[in-house]
Amino acid sequence: MIEKLREKYALSAWLIRIAFVVTYVFAFWYDTCGIVDYMSMIFVDFTASLWYVPLVAVVTGICMLGILMIMVSVIINFCRLYYLPKAEFTLIVTAFFVLRHLIMGVLKLLYYITPIIHIWGQLLIPLIATLICAILFYKTVKKLYLNNLNEPHFFKCELILFIVYFGVTSVATLVA
Amino acid sequence: MKKIILIILAITLTLSLVPLDAFCLAQPNEIQQNKDYTSFPTFDILNDFLEACPSRVAGSEGEKNASIYLRDKFLSYGLECKIEEFQFQKDGLIATSYNVVASTKITSPNLKQIVIGAHYDNVNVGNGASDNASGITALLSIAKAIATSTTKFNIVFVAFGAEELGMLGSLRYVANLSTTQRDNIALMVNIDSISMGDNVYFYAEDINTDYNNMFVDVANNNAYGIKTYAKPISKGIITGFSGLGTYPYFQMAQSSDNSSFRSVNIPTVSIFSGNYNTAIGYKESSVTSNNVMHTPNDTLEFGLKALGDDYLKKIEIVSNCVVNILTNIQFEANIITAREQMVAKFWLSPWFASAICFVVLIVCGILGYLYINKLKKNAILGDTEIKNNRIFKPESSDDIYKL
């Protein structure tokens, strides 16, 4: 699969980016509905039809893709992951975010049945989806780029990022 | 022939310039304007209140006058009534607002209490006929009926001030209650903006509750054949905002005085009007021009022009429904068990979810640390360790012989 990706790199890159935005819409549909709904309540003349949701979600998804690319670049430099091919690694990160969005989207379907699990979902759905993807991501990167010497460093960086991100998110949820 | 075509074209063009709404509404509007609404008991209450108190902006003299007007009304019904004054900050200055609290004469202190509330202030545009003179009309109408009836509860009527500035009146009212007093409240019924929206909704929790269903069922037995609804459970949730007190998330139907009570675990039923079918979530009306909340069009004249009888029928339905529930003994059990049906479980709270999140992170941290140590060992020893393991294991020796 990776070989195919490398053969048609430009096409693969665009397909993954498009998949990122599409799956973002799927994963954050419910949340975007809330935002559009809130706007509809505040602005009297604005009636939030269903079409605004994908529109807002696509725009947000594109912004998030841009942010993700910048963040990957920053993390590579900050964590000194110089042994990784930057462009290809960014693409693999994006691909795993696609998988993360798919898992989140499926789990968030539960909101429509029991919205009372909402606060759980807000914290635990991303945690579950990210944990699964992080393990698979590590295995893929290990297979492709890592050796005995740089493997501990890469794993340490990934683990710290994971713990810090969700630690901050949990604290932020409580403070909010 | 050319002349005829030109005339037809001219007529068509002229007609196309006239908005379609003008054709549809012109005739009924004229009829509705001249219509006599006095057959609706609530019309007089609403009209009288709006004439006496057209502007009731929080902290203004108009709001103070409205509080006095309401106190006099409650007293005239034979209820006990007092005005509770409170201060708040507005534009950097200290302003005063008032909660008007009326109650039936307490026959027994052991009886559970039911609070019926509606805010009487408005924003500084329009005269707040729907938001919330309509709620106040229902409140007065209920008070008038209950004053001469016997109920199994102590009923307290509260007209809240300064709701439009962030539910200040109800927050103050709740803050002044002791824990025992809060525990003694079986239910709080909030009435807000009930006349202009397309449908009347009842909302308690985002799960089915007996007490909310009871309100819907009773309201649906109205004389006008108008259907009322329980708020659709999965709609109106805004992600990214925290919940109120023990409530697990922000729900837009809690943007009124009911949330002040709900945040301290008092069961609530919120009655409001709107439409959950026209937009993704809540919208006052499917007709754009009827979305009048917080606009200059929120007046009785506009409401009657746009909706006619329906404007008043909704107020009648709500007040009759609440009176029916309060005076009917068979509903007592549903109200008493309301507290048990609330979504106030600890395992649904953000604290519990965060605790689970932290446990998962700690476990990941420990396992990760152990794994890193293992990887470091491998990095130092290269493949030696793996080879050694294989040599000294019996099954590995089989491999060697095979080779």
Q: What is the pLDDT of residues B208-217, one digit of tens each?
A: 899 999 999 9
Decide the pairing of beta strands B250-251 and B268-274. Answer: unpaired
To test the contact with chain B by mutation, choose from A50, A120, A132, A175 the residue with the greatest count of B C-beta atoms within 10 A, namely A120
Look at residue B387 and tell me whether its pLDDT is greater than 60. Answer: no
pLDDT of residue B246: 58
State the distance between the two ends of chain B, measured CA to CA, in whole angstroms: 107
Write out residues 144-163 of A within 8 Å (CB-CB) of B. Answer: 148-149, 151-152, 155-156, 159, 162-163
Give the model's confidence band at B102: pLDDT under 50 very low, under 70 low, under 90 confident, else very high. Answer: very high
Beta carbons within 8 Å of A146's beta carbon, 6+ residues apart? A83, A154
B41–A contact, CB cutoff 8 A: no
To test the contact with chain A by mutation, choose from B193, B294, B361 the residue with the greatest count of A C-beta atoms within 10 A, namely B361
Report the percent of chain B where pLDDT is more than 90.
Answer: 54
Report the percent of chain B where pLDDT is more than 70.
Answer: 83
B365–A contact, CB cutoff 8 A: yes
Query: Picking from A125-134, B65-74, B135-144, B280-289, which range would have the lowest pLDDT averaged per residue?
Result: B280-289
B228 with B274: CB under 8 angstroms? no
B367–A contact, CB cutoff 8 A: no
pLDDT of residue B4: 66
Average pLDDT, whole number, for chain B? 84
Q: Model-level pTM?
A: 0.77
B366–A contact, CB cutoff 8 A: no
- Other Cβ atoms within 10 Å of B301 Cβ, number: 12
Give the model's confidence band at B359: pLDDT under 50 very low, under 70 low, under 90 confident, else very high. Answer: very high
Picking from A111, A119, A171, the nearest residue to B234 by CB comes out as: A111
Provide, as residue numbers in chain A, all residues whose Cβ is less than 8 Å from the Cβ of B234.
111-112, 115
Written as tens digits, the pLDDT of chain A (176 aa) is 677 777 888 899 999 999 999 999 999 998 898 888 888 777 767 777 788 899 999 999 999 999 999 999 999 999 988 888 888 899 999 999 999 999 999 999 988 877 777 777 888 899 999 999 999 999 999 988 888 888 999 999 999 999 999 999 888 877 76
pLDDT of residue B218: 95
Picking from B356, B360, B378, the nearest residue to A148 by CB comes out as: B378
- Other Cβ atoms within 10 Å of A127 Cβ, number: 20
- Other Cβ atoms within 10 Å of B145 Cβ, number: 18
pLDDT of residue B351: 80
Could you give the CA distance from residue B69 to residue B49 in angstroms, rounded to a whole number?
8
DSSP B57: B
A160 with B393: CB under 8 angstroms? no
Q: What is the pLDDT of residues B267-285, one digit of tens each?
A: 999 999 999 888 777 888 8
Summarize the confidence of residues B51-65 as an average pLDDT: 94
Report the Cα B366 to chain-centroid distance in Å. Answer: 46
Produce one character per residue of B147-157: b if its CB has 16 or more CB atoms within 10 Å, e if not: beeebbbbbbb
Look at residue B300 and tell me whether its pLDDT is greater than 90. Answer: yes
- Are B249 and A119 a contacting pair at CB < 8 A? yes
Picking from B235, B293, B350, the nearest residue to A173 by CB comes out as: B350
pLDDT of residue A68: 96
